[in-house]
């Protein structure tokens, strides 16, 4: 055991549950859905074993779990839940309610494809579908990041300049169930770092005059929405402040993104989540061959740090933005749309292509990534081999769209 860490082997779900044990939140309403089911299972076991005193609320649906979370958070209790896929979709209505009421609820989102067709494997369609609901969203590449992001979550969400709910996202099965070596922090520093929850206003406070969820008439509703938007803007500064404090405690550095061999890269990929590990392996192989390739791994998607992403990509000749979610807008996915817009506003000179990959758990190999980099090199020379609507690893009669 080092001064700043305890070596351990854990799945992503176990790592998140361990972080929650150290935080010891007040209330957890939850309803099971694969692949997030283990998180409330682990937490309920910790409660039964006397390791934490969180109040676990079994509910009849995901809509009910978020509704209960809104009630407990409004009453002044630090609250969390966990879900995936159609469970998140079932919460849709109350996701917006939680955000508009400025309630800093933590949601552990284990990313899984939305139906249909029915599929239980990794995809970002669930959380990407909720990207405009007013929730903060932070994504993990691996189990260590899922643990670290959870520890930072409440500090960000509960900040008086933010006061917004937060999703901590990780890829279903790929990280949630796969066991990796990680480094845990001792309990005492984590508890001190997260601190106790002392909201300024809550329903059970004596002489409290606030109301939660009132009808917002037209002369006031737009102002409320603008104030909510300001909380999202303010979150950028808070995320970086919390990350700096976390680095002092853990030695692990976080920001809006991670640049891997990006400083001198001529050809770059932009991606979220577990695929970034595969991309890094491909980069190592191609760098050994003298290829100037790199990765911009997005960690923070909401708020969307578009200016920072564009600045990091400004030296590239060609960029491929990888989406693990189909936008059904006839041109690509949500990540592609937002990063491309940010690069356009910043007048980035790079050629840009949006590539759909990994839907419903489709495997991505190092050779697949190397093929994308090869086509990026040709794109920079004016030869587009990506096709009009590129899918990575697609089986199709239209070979032009198969990367």
Tens digit of pLDDT per residue, the chain (403 long)?
455 799 999 999 999 999 999 999 999 999 999 999 999 999 999 999 999 999 999 999 999 999 999 999 999 999 999 999 999 999 999 999 999 999 999 999 999 999 989 999 999 999 999 999 999 999 999 999 999 999 999 999 999 999 999 999 999 999 999 999 999 999 999 999 999 999 999 999 999 988 898 899 999 999 999 999 999 999 999 999 999 999 999 999 999 999 999 999 999 999 999 999 999 999 999 999 999 999 999 999 999 999 999 999 999 999 999 999 999 999 999 999 999 999 999 999 999 999 999 999 999 999 999 999 999 999 999 999 998 899 999 988 677 678 8
pTM: 0.97
- Quick one: CA dihedral 317, 323, 327, 332, positive or negative? positive
**DSSP string across 111-123:** E-PPSSS---S--
Residue 35: name the closest of 166, 170, 141, 127 by CA. Answer: 170
Q: Where in the chain is the domain with CATH 3.40.50.970?
A: 6-250
pLDDT given for residue 126 in this prediction: 98
SS3 17: helix
Residue matched to tokens 């044990």: 21
Burial string for 236-247 (b: 16+ CB within 10 Å, else e) reads: bebbbebbeebe
Residue 246: name the closest of 318, 190, 284 by CA. Answer: 190
H or E element at residue 8:
strand 6-11
pLDDT given for residue 263 in this prediction: 97
Residue 168: name the closest of 123, 127, 133 by CA. Answer: 127
- 186: which DSSP letter? P
The CA-to-CA distance between both ends of the chain, in Å, stands at 45
Q: Where in the chain is the domain with CATH 3.40.50.920?
A: 257-401
* Architecture field, domain 6-250: 3-Layer(aba) Sandwich (3.40)
> Residue 265: phi, psi to the nearest 5?
-70, 135
pLDDT given for residue 3 in this prediction: 58
Collect all residues with Cβ–Cβ distance below 8 Å to 149 and sequence separation of at least 6.
138, 140, 168, 254, 299
pLDDT given for residue 397 in this prediction: 65
- 358: which DSSP letter? -
CATH number of 257-401: 3.40.50.920
- 400: which DSSP letter? G
Collect all residues with Cβ–Cβ distance below 8 Å to 346 and sequence separation of at least 6.
306, 307, 310, 311, 314
Burial string for 127-166 (b: 16+ CB within 10 Å, else e) reads: bbbbbebbbbbbbbbbbbbbbbbbbbbbbbbbbeebbbbb
Contacts 24+ apart (CB under 8 A), 184-187: 184/5, 184/6, 184/7, 184/8, 184/15, 184/18, 184/147, 185/4, 185/5, 185/6, 185/22, 185/151, 185/249, 185/250, 186/6, 187/22
């Amino acid at each position: 055991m080092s001064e700043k860490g305890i070596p351990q082997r854990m799945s992503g779900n176990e790592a998140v549950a361990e972080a929650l044990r150290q935080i010891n939140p007040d209330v957890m309403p939850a309803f099971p859905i694969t692949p997030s089911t283990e998180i409330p299972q682990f937490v309920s076991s910790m409660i039964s074993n006397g390791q934490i005193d969180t109040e676990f609320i079994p509910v009849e649906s995901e809509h009910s779990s978020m509704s209960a979370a809104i009630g407990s958070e409004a009453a002044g209790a630090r609250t969390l839940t966990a879900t995936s896929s159609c469970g998140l979709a079932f919460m849709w209505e109350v996701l917006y309610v939680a955000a508009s009421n400025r309630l800093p609820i933590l949601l552990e989102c284990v990313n899984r494809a939305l139906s249909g067709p029915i599929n239980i494997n990794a995809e970002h369609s669930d959380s990407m579908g909720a990207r405009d609901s007013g929730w903060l969203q932070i994504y993990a590449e691996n189990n260590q990041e899922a643990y670290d992001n959870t520890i930072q979550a409440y500090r960000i969400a509960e900040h008086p300049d933010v006061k917004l709910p937060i999703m901590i996202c990780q890829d279903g099965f790929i990280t949630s169930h796969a066991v990796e070596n990680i480094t845990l922090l001792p309990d005492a520093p984590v508890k001190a770092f997260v601190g106790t929850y002392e909201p300024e206003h809550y329903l059970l406070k004596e002489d409290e005059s606030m109301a939660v969820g009132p009808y917002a008439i037209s002369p006031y509703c737009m102002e409320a929405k603008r104030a909510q938007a300001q909380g999202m803007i303010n979150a950028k500064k808070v995320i970086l402040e919390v990350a700096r404090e976390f680095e002092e405690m853990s030695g692990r550095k976080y920001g809006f993104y991670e640049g891997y061999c990006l400083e001198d890269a001529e050809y770059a990929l932009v991606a979220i989540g577990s695929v970034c590990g595969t991309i890094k392996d491909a980069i190592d192989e191609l760098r050994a061959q003298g290829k100037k390739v790199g990765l911009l791994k997005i960690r923070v998607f909401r708020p969307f740090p578009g200016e920072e992403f564009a600045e990091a990509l400004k030296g590239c000749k060609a960029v491929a933005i990888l989406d693990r979610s189909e936008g059904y807008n006839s041109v690509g996915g949500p990540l592609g749309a937002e990063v491309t817009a940010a690069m356009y506003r910043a007048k980035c000179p790079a050629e840009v292509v949006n590539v759909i990959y990994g839907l419903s758990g489709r495997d991505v190999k190092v050779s697949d990534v190397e093929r994308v980099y090869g086509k990026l090199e040709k794109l920079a020379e004016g030869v587009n081999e990506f096709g009009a609507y590129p899918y990575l690893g697609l089986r199709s009669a239209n070979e032009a769209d198969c990367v």
